[in-house]
Structure 1
Amino acid sequence: MGELNLENLKKYKDEILKAEITSLLALWEKINPGKQNKSQINIIKKFLSNWEYIIRDKKLKILEEEIDLWNDFLNNWRNKWRSQKDNKYLLQVLYGIGESLNSGIDKGFPDDNAKLEPENDRWLSNSFGSFKNKIIYLSLDKDTINNIISNLECYIKNFLDSESINWDEIKLIKKKIKNLYYRLLSDDRFPINDVSLWEQAYMATTMFKASLSEYILKNNNIQSLPKRMDVRWRILGIQYDKLRLAEKGYKPQQIQWYREVSNEIDDEIKKLLEYDYPIGNEIYRDETGVYFLVGEDLGEDLKNGSSLVKLSDDLKEIKDKIIKIFKDKSFDEFYPAIFLTKPSRGIMNLTHLLEAAKENFLKVDLSKKGNDICIERSNSGRAVGICQVCGQRLVFERDKSDENKNICDICLKEKTQGRIERWFKNRDKETIWIDELKDKNDKIALITMKFELHDWLNGDMLNSLLVREKDFNAYFSMIKDLLNLIKSELSKEELESLEIDNTAEDKINKFLLLYDAGGIYEPFNEVYETLKKNKNIDNVTGRHKDLVKRLLVEDWIEDFSFFDKSSRMITINKKKNKSIQDSLQDNNAKGHLYKIFAINYLILQIYNTLLERSIGDRWEEFICERLEDKDKNQGEHKIDFDKRKIYWNNLNDSDIEFLSTLILQFLFRKNPSPARLRRIWESTKEFLEEIKSDLCAFAGIEENRRKRFYWEWKDVKVINSNNNISDKEYQDGDSLFWADKDKIYLISYIKDLKAGKEFNLKESTGNGNVIASVLYTDNTKFEYYQPYISIIEPTPISWQFIIPAEYVPNLIDNVMKKYYENFKFVYGKLPLHIGIVVQDYKKPLYVGIKALRIIRRDVEDTEKLILKEKACKIKNVLKCQKIEESLNDTQNYFSLYSGSHKKGYEFYLKPNDKNKKWISSIDKLRDDEEINIIPNTFDFEFLDTNTRRNDIYYDDNNKYKRKINFKSGRPYDLDTWKKFKKFKELFSKNNISGSIRSTKLQNLISVIYDKWEDLVSDSNQIKNDTEAIKAFLASSFVNILKLNNDKELADGIKELVDIDKTEKDEGIYEALKEKMTTENLQLFLDMFEFWHTTLKEV
């Protein structure tokens, strides 16, 4: 790798940014209502050529080369970029490389005839097959659409004409393009309607921008145009632990500060790397940091052999700027780790950074951190301790206040008092007062919702989705035959001995029809038939002549045994040798050119399918390992990924079977393109964002519960007219108030607040004298607020927040309803975990947040979560489909599962031998067949003491269940939530028999606790008594709960422990005895813990 010239990047910054915005128009043809986004609407710009009059004559000077943005870049770029030789086409070639890789991988090879239905009612799905929205043309009228386009046209014209580039202007243009593209299809074939035009355009532009910036950094002039096979990218991660930051705050205001400053830091870094030093674009952001796509040569390998690399030393200036953003924004409190991935052709390596995040958090760059700690400070007094918020700065005598005794001056002013000022300006948004979140029992619930997204981000789970339905065994056999054909024909020592019979022709055609017909099959068929019939390359049409010449040059012929590399001659037969060029004219040779073309064309497609989609990724490592290629000598290698070459003669039968499986898999599966991976995390992030945006509805928080009462100054009775009421916090018992300017706000939730209630306001600290009073009446004014607190912002992986505890059941109900709407087709493959921590609102908030960090359950190996389930379970989930979903048989492409069967497709679900599994559409399986799923789960913990969080510890050897025996039933499959609800229904205080049953229930619970240790004991003596214990417990259920006299309760208990309701009531004892398992008893105890101890509902 050569040196990187940062001065070049600065010099050509504006040119890079103008080229970037221009490139976002390259796919404009796709908005045409006459094509994939079919509609009767008439728009003013249907074609890319409609932009010519805006863009023509707009020139950029890059590395001293003048480039016309229209003639040398956008104009007919798709058909021209591969054949360009002149340096002025640098932009066109770089964009073509990025777009072709992104688009080719993204689309995969769906059936050309599988058009999206309904044909005249086009729609987009999310990444998981569920209906997302109809195309924008079906929801907005012609005038509105044309106004959007005209507005965009105006902004782009002004931008390209401008001599000074503005960051806000760039963001605005991208936002306007996104708003148009995001609701348009990139392709109208099903099932690839899961990627919008925006993801396609944004990722193509991002790859282009990264490559252009890298080229400018590496060169002082344009010496030659880059080759497609040489272009790769890295992912640059700026990593820091946002969850750990949230744990620092002991007041909501401080948590809010850490959350917002993290967003500000990410946004500042985005501006730095996309605008100030435009080396790439942001592609991902979550609780571990923010990530960018950059060129390959921006990274330098570490000497320790790590899979991660460091930012090039030539870019130290950029690195220092990143560090300075953290220093300034965090007040020198926290810093990032900065690493890049190994290079690859896609973005699946992102997970390498995510997996290493915890380790990388320990490798933060502290080069700019101050270390001046002075115990004595004359103007502040002597240091009295360490700040309990930041944990770094000293607290001095002068810093101390009565209400914030151990907090440094910065944390007090910036993270506490400053947040109150911001709250006051946004009082209708989420609260910062924990007292407003207590429920009727003074409890708050801290909640995490977390997707196990790892296997989607690295592309593994896409191996269980299809782009087309075909007979796996038939096509596997065909591809194996073709690979053997290639190997056989390459070994022929005479050109005239090459043989492609009718059977081979049929198989070649059938294989190529798996690809894009217009782009792959038809060119081959036309050239093949021409060469076979006319035996002359001159008869090939001009548009395909370059392709023929490319596949008949030495680089492509050298692998045939009839070619002598030393003499560079072709052996036509035993009597005749010719050079390659002469062979093209030799009568004996010309009749065999079509065979060379066919073999090389096959090899080209296999290289593009197999090598391009695995290079630089775990699949490359797996292929090399599986072929035992790592330790071989140079001449014995089977695949060279750097040269994009397969050494066919070195392959054995086992190798050919293996490669045939992979080729077929890569043809049939959904491909992990940059655009599709971006759509995946956008889908899960939007799911969480939509819940946040309407959280009150999801949690069922009533309108009255969202009222904050306040009193204007004229309604406040001041006790001593000489006393001014300062802007600060006041209290009356447990009720808190905030005075600000001319109003006093009640910032505590008070259950059953009655008219006539008078509050006597005292200072929260001080002598406790009443300063003023206010009277609550039916006419007291109020404003609405949002009774929740975000701990972190929603990310593609998770969201953490706080709500009143009593609304948790409503939230679970509605979140799961939304889950099934959005992700039903991948139920069991995209698990959602809900973790709930409930505590008294007066307890230290950081205790609950630390517990929440644990209960989010970070899983390193999702395979350990797999359960066996009956296929009927998935079928029940899929019964409720939208018309659009059912018309396209969505489940046949998305709802494929492995299990005990051997049906469907035998794929490597992960790049290792143990994960070669048969997957089949759920519709093709019997109801009673077992399949593998990862269930949605929920866990909860009531922190009655601070140390209770130590109970939250997961056993990775037992499906990540709780380690503590007494709670090892948690977390529960969310399908068990139905039983939790049934338990409440049976024993709720609102039930007509609830109070009577509640007393009986508590007696039964005591009995179960008494026998629990005996039941789970390893003692042989006690094991022998197990049946007696079960009999005793069954009898206790019957007798204590009076089940023989309470049919409703008896039926309910049957439901809780899975006893057939048709079982006669007289036989309930015997049935219960069989169900007195530790799992059922544990569930019963946990349901009591949840509804009685935690929520006080039974």
Structure 2
Amino acid sequence: MSERTIPAELKLSDSHRQAILYIELLGLIHDLGKLTDTFLRKEASNASNQGKKYEYRLFVDPRKLYTQAKTCKTVHNWRKNADNKACAFNDRPDLTDTLRSVKLTAWDGIEYCLAELAPFLAKTGFWKDNDKWMKELGKNMQPGTLIGFLHGIGHFEKESSGNNQTQAYINTWRSTPFGYDEEQLPTGSENNLTKTLQQLPLSQEEIQVVVQSAKEREQWLEKMENGLSKGLADTRRPINDVTLWDWGYLVASLAKAAAHYLFHHRWPESPEQLSFRTLRINLDRLQLYAESDRITDLLGKQNAIEEAYKKVRQYLEFDLALGNRIHHDETGDYYLIPGVLPGEDPKTALRIAIQNIFRKESLEDCLPRVHFGTSVQAGHLDKKNQKNATRDNNAVIETIRELLVNPRRDARAEAPVQNNNNLSLFEDEWKNGKSENAERCSVCGLRPVGYPVTGDLPEVEKNLEPWALEKKAKERNLCRLCLNRRGRRAKKWAEQWAGEAQHSKPPMTIWTDEVADDDGRIALFVGSFGLDHWLDGSALETIRLSKNTGKNPSPARLFRITETARSFWTTINSEVLQEKVNTESCRIVLTPANTDKLDLGKFHTYELQCNPHGMRISFVWDSERGYFLSVENLNGLMKRHGYKQNMLSMITTVKNTFENKTCTLYQPSSYGTASSRRATICIKTANLSTIHYKPVIPLLAEPSVCMSLIPADKAVDVSLKVFEKYQQEMSRVQDRLPMGIGLVFFPRRTPIRAVMEAGRAMLNMLQSKPEEEWKVNDLKRQTNTIDLTFNNSISFSYKTSYGKDSEIPDIWHLCCFDSEGKAKQLNELTTESHVKVYPGRFDFEFLDTSGRRFDIYYDEHGRRPRNTRPFYLTDIQRIADLWQYIRSLSKSQIYQVIELIETKRTEWHVAPGTKDERTEVFRKFVQSTLAGAEWPTTHSWHTISEQETLVQAGVDGVLTDVAELYISILKSPSTENQKA
């Protein structure tokens, strides 16, 4: 147990808390028998009817249980199945004895072992026979029958009607909710899934760690997720999108919240009366990150917030055993908890306890808003009630929305600070004789510089690291809390770098100067998904199981949707950036001659200059190893000072510049202060390291948002790769799942505050005008695709089958929204059809000044003041192609052509997108201007096959954007310049 305070209203005995955690475990493994190759074979379309049938529900051996049951028909059938069928417990034979040895005492005061509860977990109606179980078995089996009941509520996505299609065993795939075949389960080796089952951490010792500590439980859950995510809740298309992890975790979360309620209250007349609600803990993280002037403060704040959220999760899920986190994103964390909490005012007590965890992380200026959602009854989450009467599907969907969609909507609509929830007035910080005009912390802007004074507030100081001293804080114009929040990032980075010689994978940097490209520019990559209409269930209606039936937005499926989107962005940050961003980056290592006499801050950043007119380079002083380590892009540094950039030339330059030379050391400029001379240092040795690093800083990867800092010259390549991955994985739903890509370019010395504000503004691309009505101009039915071309010249290509040989027709995803917002098959469209599309967007801006960020806003039509922006997402490839067409012109010719076109556009008042006589005349002018340009003889105008594409780009004004992006921002040379 942790030392965190538990409100008296929610306090449980250790035995009760352990019982809840064991019940949660049972919910997680309630369909464990499906994690076997035998289950795949049984469910396969080519399954043989010969031999024994497979009983996946029996993952414990019933013949070792219920020895007192002599006449119970159900127990007799279990034993008979164990004798006559192949059962899951044969694939994990140790599990029965393990679960027999783990015991819990339930709310009814009866002791159970986990094994005897297991056969009850997957049958939704067993709870009705609790009296029979008491008579037959001597126990009412309520913990097991509870999970069996919640089994049906947690995943009613197993639609029994419709055109669900079984898969062949060797060709069984797990798909995403967006129709992409993510992984082939039998990967060529026999018993691939069964081996996964056998490796799950389910020995007696491994199970017991679940109740021993929050950290061990967290590690255990990660291992379970890795294993269960490989299995399928159902193998049939298109409902093969929910994994056993999604399924088990949601049932476990429901069971946990219900069990917590039952330990404070009695068993209800029907479990349908159990209620649940969502506890949301919200922070506008993007706003908080945008309030940082330096990347170190942003990352420090990010780490502190993540650590606080992690401790809150441990508190709620382990210390209180109150419920589980079912969603988290940039708005905060969302927990499924009991609808009824014990005590007079448990909500206030819980809110205070959660906010106190943030206070202990020195986050008084980042206290979250804590809210409790609407209570919903379990029976209203199911499509059938206890009398088997079918409920209205829309009513069920509305109830499910109360668990995630509505709380998330409310969180985004709220003000960041609310009275009586998270308002902190910071009165105490300004006591003890502090004048009102005392200097404020340059990071938080709320506390005095140097706060708290050493020895004045021991309760506050005990949460600070020993190195977060008052003197150091004052030197940096910070309060000690913000200094502490920054952490010793440079120290950890230096230690990592020193140990990287034996590693093959280059680490990522933490310095923006190293992220900058050779021209000293950086790009903030902003990615986003429009998930709202997926989470509210409306988009799932377009995935048709039959003519009148769409997919159900069950809690398990919604969980899978958000985690699939998060996985996409996580892969972008961890793999795509690794692939597309150059690793040929190295650092200068300078060893001074007089280290003993140096009085420098440990792992502090300084600037070194060898002569009044020489290079001034940023270095970190590694006090433990006694050298300076550069933190700049050396290629860019050499380029700016006129040196060659190859490795041999750089080594020579470094040695000639620094080795055996006397250098001046400067304290770099900071908030409100200019750089100042600090000391004179003699450099003994100067070397160029051979350890490379990745010039990338990932910032965020949530379902709806991704942000990373990357070199500006790699931004378009990264965007094209992301677009390619999107086309590969989401093309079946590309008209309903919009992706936005924004690029904010900026010089390396730009305050990070302005950059983050610009990035936040670009996230409004998809929200400003979420849908448009497009007319189908052309429809082509190919062998394996359906190609739609719309009246705006955009084309979508839909793959009509699965598999390499196109042997499985896709009869589920080939739908769209018609003009009335109803699902319509693509085969029903004609060239006169109008459809609603959620288009993806692409935008970019260069922050030549910090104030340029205010140019990024989108009006009610989704447009910016610049008429061409934002572009449609498909224009990313168009823009890249246009540059390849015009780059054969010289730079001066490109500018001259564009200036002529834009001058005439202004004089003739030609508005982009209009079609009239004036536009046609303007088109002819653009064509003649392009034709009259000085094209090289090897690439003359009449040899260009894409003349019409270039002319249209000139008419639309897109050529101007292409020139700005590639020439002004990316500094890409034209082909003529390269030849020269």
Structure 1-normalised TM-score?
Answer: 0.68
Q: 1:1008 to 1:819 in 2, by over 3 A?
A: same
| 1:325 pairs with one of 357, 378, 381 | 357
Question: Partners in 2 of 1:26 and 1:871 — Cα distance?
Answer: 47
CA contact (8 A) 2:20 2:321 kept: yes
Q: What secondary structure, in the 3-state scheme, does the structure 2 residue paired with 1:179 have?
A: helix
Q: What secondary structure, in the 3-state scheme, does the structure 1 residue paired with 2:573 have?
A: helix
CA contact (8 A) 1:233 1:294 kept: yes
Question: Partners in 1 of 2:440 and 2:324 — Cα distance?
Answer: 40
Q: Does 1:335 align with 2:367?
A: yes
Which residue matches 2:315?
272
Which residue matches 1:1095?
970
Question: Partners in 1 of 2:470 and 2:773 — Cα distance?
Answer: 53
Matches within 5 A, 1:345-494: 345=381, 347-349=400-402, 350-360=404-414, 361-363=416-418, 369=424, 371-372=426-427, 384-395=438-449, 407-410=477-480, 413-416=483-486, 418-427=488-497, 429-467=507-545, 469=546, 472=547
Q: How many residues align?
A: 821
Q: Deviations over 1:394-413 (max 9, x none)?
A: 22699999998773232552
Q: What secondary structure, in the 3-state scheme, does the structure 2 residue paired with 1:152 have?
A: coil
Question: Partners in 1 of 2:894 and 2:474 — Cα distance?
Answer: 45
Aligned sequence identity (%): 20
CA contact (8 A) 1:213 1:295 kept: yes
CA contact (8 A) 2:744 2:758 kept: yes
Which residue matches 1:97?
149
Which residue matches 2:277?
234
Structure 2 unaligned spans of 5+: 1-6, 48-53, 55-85, 135-139, 382-398, 454-468, 498-505, 610-614, 636-644, 668-675, 781-786, 789-794, 974-980
Q: What secondary structure, in the 3-state scheme, does the structure 2 residue paired with 1:342 have?
A: coil
CA contact (8 A) 2:304 2:485 kept: no
Q: Deviations over 1:642-676 (max 9, x none)?
A: xxxxxxxxxxxxxxxxxxxxxx4xxx211111111
Q: Deviations over 1:713-750 (max 9, x none)?
A: 4xx456x9855666432323342111202232121002
Superposition deviation, residue 315 in structure 1:
3.9
| 1:130 pairs with one of 158, 170, 180 | 180
CA contact (8 A) 1:323 1:368 kept: no
Q: Does 1:1003 align with 2:900?
A: no
Question: Partners in 2 of 1:139 and 1:343 — Cα distance?
Answer: 48
CA contact (8 A) 1:335 1:364 kept: no
CA contact (8 A) 1:73 1:92 kept: yes
| 2:850 pairs with one of 927, 935, 946 | 946
Which residue matches 2:708?
801
Q: 1:928 to 1:143 in 2, by over 3 A?
A: closer
Structure 1 unaligned spans of 5+: 300-310, 473-663, 901-913, 1058-1071
Q: Does 1:729 align with 2:605?
A: yes
Which residue matches 2:875?
976
Matches within 5 A, 1:1024-1035: 1031-1035=924-928
Counterpart residue type for residue 864 of structure 1? E
Which residue matches 2:651?
755
CA contact (8 A) 2:106 2:143 kept: no
Q: 1:77 to 1:678 in 2, by over 3 A?
A: closer
Q: Does 1:185 align with 2:66?
A: no
Question: Partners in 2 of 1:376 and 1:83 — Cα distance?
Answer: 64
Question: Partners in 2 of 1:768 and 1:807 — Cα distance?
Answer: 37
| 1:703 pairs with one of 569, 580, 583 | 583
* Higher relative helix content: 1
Question: Partners in 2 of 1:438 and 1:863 — Cα distance?
Answer: 34
Superposition deviation, residue 231 in structure 1:
3.5
Q: 1:367 to 1:807 in 2, by over 3 A?
A: closer
Q: What secondary structure, in the 3-state scheme, does the structure 2 residue paired with 1:710 have?
A: strand
| 2:947 pairs with one of 1054, 1057, 1063 | 1054
Higher relative contact order (CA 8 A, sep 6+): 1
Q: Deviations over 1:451-491 (max 9, x none)?
A: 01111111111011023x4xx4xxxxxxxxxxxxxxxxxxx
Q: 1:818 to 1:155 in 2, by over 3 A?
A: farther
Q: Does 1:829 align with 2:713?
A: no
Q: Does 1:820 align with 2:727?
A: yes
Which residue matches 2:159?
108
| 2:797 pairs with one of 851, 866, 877 | 877
Which residue matches 2:72?
none
Which residue matches 2:384?
none
Matches within 5 A, 1:328-727: 328-344=360-376, 345=381, 347-349=400-402, 350-360=404-414, 361-363=416-418, 369=424, 371-372=426-427, 384-395=438-449, 407-410=477-480, 413-416=483-486, 418-427=488-497, 429-467=507-545, 469=546, 472=547, 664=548, 668-698=549-579, 700-705=580-585, 707-711=586-590, 713=591, 716=592, 723=598, 727=602
CA contact (8 A) 1:984 1:1097 kept: no
Q: What secondary structure, in the 3-state scheme, does the structure 1 residue paired with 2:262 have?
A: helix
Counterpart residue type for residue 746 of structure 2? Q
Counterpart residue type for residue 584 of structure 2? N
Superposition deviation, residue 983 in structure 1:
2.5
Q: What secondary structure, in the 3-state scheme, does the structure 2 residue paired with 1:356 have?
A: helix
Matches within 5 A, 1:282-293: 282-293=325-336
* Greater radius of gyration (CA): 1
CA contact (8 A) 1:45 1:149 kept: no
Q: 1:889 to 1:52 in 2, by over 3 A?
A: same
Q: Does 1:745 align with 2:629?
A: yes
Superposition deviation, residue 240 in structure 1:
0.7
Q: Does 1:84 align with 2:129?
A: yes
Superposition deviation, residue 11 in structure 1:
6.5
| 1:175 pairs with one of 193, 209, 222 | 222
Question: Partners in 2 of 1:363 and 1:868 — Cα distance?
Answer: 46
Counterpart residue type for residue 159 of structure 2? G
Superposition deviation, residue 81 in structure 1:
1.3
* Root-mean-square deviation over aligned CA pairs: 3.7
Q: What secondary structure, in the 3-state scheme, does the structure 2 residue paired with 1:767 have?
A: strand
Question: Partners in 1 of 2:337 and 2:804 — Cα distance?
Answer: 38
Q: Does 1:205 align with 2:252?
A: yes
CA contact (8 A) 1:236 1:340 kept: yes
Superposition deviation, residue 709 in structure 1:
4.0
Counterpart residue type for residue 653 of structure 2? K
Q: Deviations over 1:841-898 (max 9, x none)?
A: 01212111111110122644764345445555458633597626943323x2113113
| 1:263 pairs with one of 294, 306, 323 | 306
| 1:789 pairs with one of 697, 701, 708 | 697
Q: Deviations over 1:897-920 (max 9, x none)?
A: 1346xxxxxxxxxxxxx53x2510
Q: Deviations over 1:97-129 (max 9, x none)?
A: 2111223x211125587212x332322011111
Which residue matches 2:78?
none
Question: Partners in 2 of 1:730 and 1:445 — Cα distance?
Answer: 25
Question: Partners in 2 of 1:1076 and 1:60 — Cα distance?
Answer: 71
Which residue matches 1:653?
none
Q: What secondary structure, in the 3-state scheme, does the structure 1 residue paired with 2:22 have?
A: helix
Question: Partners in 1 of 2:485 and 2:878 — Cα distance?
Answer: 43
Superposition deviation, residue 83 in structure 1:
2.7
Q: 1:994 to 1:213 in 2, by over 3 A?
A: same
Which residue matches 2:203?
154
Question: Partners in 2 of 1:948 and 1:426 — Cα distance?
Answer: 37
Superposition deviation, residue 776 in structure 1:
5.8
CA contact (8 A) 1:896 1:919 kept: yes
Q: What secondary structure, in the 3-state scheme, does the structure 1 residue paired with 2:947 have?
A: helix
Q: 1:214 to 1:799 in 2, by over 3 A?
A: same
Counterpart residue type for residue 160 of structure 2? F
Q: 1:750 to 1:365 in 2, by over 3 A?
A: farther
Counterpart residue type for residue 698 of structure 2? S
